[in-house]
Amino acid sequence: MNAVSEKLGQEQVRIDLGENWIDIREQIRKICKDFPGSYWRALEDEQAYPSAFVQALTESGYLAALIPEAYGGAGLPLSAAAAILEEIHANGCNAGACHAQMYIMGTLLRHGSTAQKEKYLPQIASGTLRLQAFGVTEPTSGTDTTQLKTRAQRDGEHYVVNGQKVWTSRARHSDLMLLLARTTPIDQVQRKTEGLSVFLIDMRDVLDRGLSIRPIDAMINHNTTEVFFDNMRIPAASLIGEEGKGFRYILDGMNAERILVGSEAIGDARWFIAKASHYASERVVFGRPIGMNQGIQFPIARAHAETDAAELMLRKAAALFEAGLPCGDSANMGKMLASEAAWHAGEACMQTHGGFSYAREYDIERKWRETRLMQIAPVSTNLILAYVAEHVLGMPRSY
């Protein structure tokens, strides 16, 4: 593997080029072989959770890649987690059922108390507890997170939570939920980012006792839900860090989330490109392989170039993250470029396969639907462009 160094002010950061984490990638490929397209298609028919796949990943230890060794995890850096997720997607699988554990857990790691970490992390690492649900988005406030309406009010040794979340993925398949709620009304804080708090909720204690979960019939099998809180009482000890500082804690984790989701998009793009270039070379129409036509080969080649470029940006973001340096610019841009590269690769793959791309057994239409999400969640492209315009280019805030 090659490496380049980039000077950033006084700091020098090393970026790995080529295939990194080779052994881990090899192991992930082996796991993915047991979960071919037919496995994912059958799950879609039932809108079922990929329990066997998540179990295999848990047993392999890869889901606990980012948990420190002291708490039973592998203690690996973010680039290893990115390689794991990329490889899952490059091999036709989907990590959406379990990836949230990797980035949600950072909030607990960075801001949780020692007691909370000791209580939860070893069990999460061993797979006896699932931390897969992340409740931020609400139906009325959408991307404008500080306007969220869910309220958590202190009542002695408890908080009482009322409100609603939407698109809370995996809530029915997780034991724990990381929840962002307002603890101080917005008209009583100086800045709208203040007064929000993060809670780690054990959903097993409150399900049907203040907490209800309703599945959303969605375009992809993402096990996503609406969640309702009706006077849900949770122990005060569920609070992570300081009350009122939750927005900052969530923001801290977002760069990691963008790098990891961007890596999944890179994996999708690699899958589409491999499938399209293979088919283009094999499929003969008008007496020659369709890949001899530039109208077929150029979109695939362009998607490959875009994917390589996006991957470099994400590698840079991961290297900065691991060095403890600001990485918001490259994490945001890398996620945006990767999601677009994956979409272009998906489009090229669809077009290359002609009518056969509509046959479910090719898995192209499934991956195509799945990869479209990455331009919307966890953050939509417009919001990334707004970030770049304001924070990188110094233009006035647009919203």
Ligand X SMILES: Cc1cc2nc3c(=O)[nH]c(=O)nc-3n(C[C@H](O)[C@H](O)[C@H](O)COP(=O)(O)OP(=O)(O)OC[C@H]3O[C@@H](n4cnc5c(N)ncnc54)[C@H](O)[C@@H]3O)c2cc1C
214: CB partners within 8 A, 6+ apart: 225, 226, 227, 228
Instruction: Please identify which residue in the block is written with the tokens 């496995």.
Output: 39
Shortest gap between Cβ of 136 and ligand X (angstroms)? 3
Which amino acid makes up residue 183?
T
Structural contact between residues 269 and 345, judged by C-beta atoms closer than 8 angstroms:
yes
Pick the stretch among 240-248, 341-349, 355-363, 382-390 that binds ligand X (CB under 6 A).
Answer: 382-390
- Note whether 137 binds ligand X by CB under 6 A: yes
Helix (H) or strand (E) holding 125: helix 114-126
Cβ nearer to ligand X, comparing 301 with 386? 386
Residue 166: beta bridge partners? 226
- Note whether 169 binds ligand X by CB under 6 A: yes
- Note whether 388 binds ligand X by CB under 6 A: no
Pick the stretch among 17-25, 151-159, 191-199, 377-385 that binds ligand X (CB under 6 A).
Answer: 377-385
Active site residues: 257
Candidates 122, 207, 226; CA nearest to 169 is: 226
Cβ nearer to ligand X, comparing 8 with 377? 377
State the burial class of residue 305 (Cβ atoms within 10 Å of its Cβ: 0-12, 13-18, 19+): exposed
- Note whether 224 binds ligand X by CB under 6 A: yes
Q: Pick the binder of ligand X from 236, 376, 392, 395 (CB under 6 A).
A: 376
Cα–Cα dist 246/229, whole Å: 19
Shortest gap between Cβ of 387 and ligand X (angstroms)? 11
Neighbour count for residue 232 (Cβ, 10 Å): 25
Shortest gap between Cβ of 145 and ligand X (angstroms)? 9
Shortest gap between Cβ of 384 and ligand X (angstroms)? 9
- Note whether 105 binds ligand X by CB under 6 A: no
- Note whether 254 binds ligand X by CB under 6 A: no
215: three-class secondary structure by DSSP: strand
Q: Pick the binder of ligand X from 8, 207, 386, 389 (CB under 6 A).
A: 386
Q: Total residues at the site for ligand X (CB under 6 A)?
A: 23
186: three-class secondary structure by DSSP: helix
Q: Pick the binder of ligand X from 36, 142, 185, 354 (CB under 6 A).
A: 142
Q: In terms of residues, how long is the chain?
A: 399
Q: Which residues bind ligand X (CB under 6 A)?
A: 134-137, 142-143, 167-169, 218, 222, 224, 373, 376-380, 382-383, 386, 398-399
